[in-house]
Amino acid sequence: MENIILVVHLILAVCLIGVVLLQRSEGGGLGLGGGGGVMSGRQAATALGKLTWAFAIAFLATSITLTIIAAQNSAGSSVLDRIGAGTATDGGDGLALPPASDLLPPVSGDAPLLPPRAD
């Protein structure tokens, strides 16, 4: 169910971008584009304007739905719970971890001898 809503959400996003890009620029937010007078009245909604509102409302609805589904899926568990699921010698994936002494750097007496430098 979540995958279906996610696919619909992505399709709505692409459609919303396309419809917005198809519309004629009427603003003047950047000083560009067409636009009538400064105090022009509200114009009648075009088909593209109505379609933009429909896509935007559907996009917001799928966003809220996906948020609710994600919250329900994560209820009762946290990342820390999943990390602490393994034991001390088990990383949670069934593989044994090496002993801690192998993970520490060697002390000076245990360090391997380096060959002499040729200067």
In a domain, 5, yes or no: yes
Q: What would the pLDDT profile of 36-93 be if each residue is shown by its tens digit?
A: 555 555 666 788 889 999 999 999 999 999 999 998 887 776 667 667 655 455 555 5
Q: What would the pLDDT profile of 6-32 be if each residue is shown by its tens digit?
A: 999 999 999 999 999 998 876 655 555
In a domain, 83, yes or no: no
Distances (CA, A) of 52 to 33, 59, 103: 19, 10, 59
In a domain, 93, yes or no: no
In a domain, 26, yes or no: no
Residue 2's domain spans which residues?
1-21+48-72
In a domain, 101, yes or no: no
Q: How many CB atoms lie within 10 A of CB 13?
A: 14
In a domain, 63, yes or no: yes
- Predicted model pTM: 0.54
| Number of domains composing the chain | 1
In a domain, 40, yes or no: no
Residues ≥6 apart with Cβ < 8 Å to 22:
48
In a domain, 57, yes or no: yes
Please count the CA atoms within 13 angstroms of the CA of 34 that sit on its side-chain side.
4
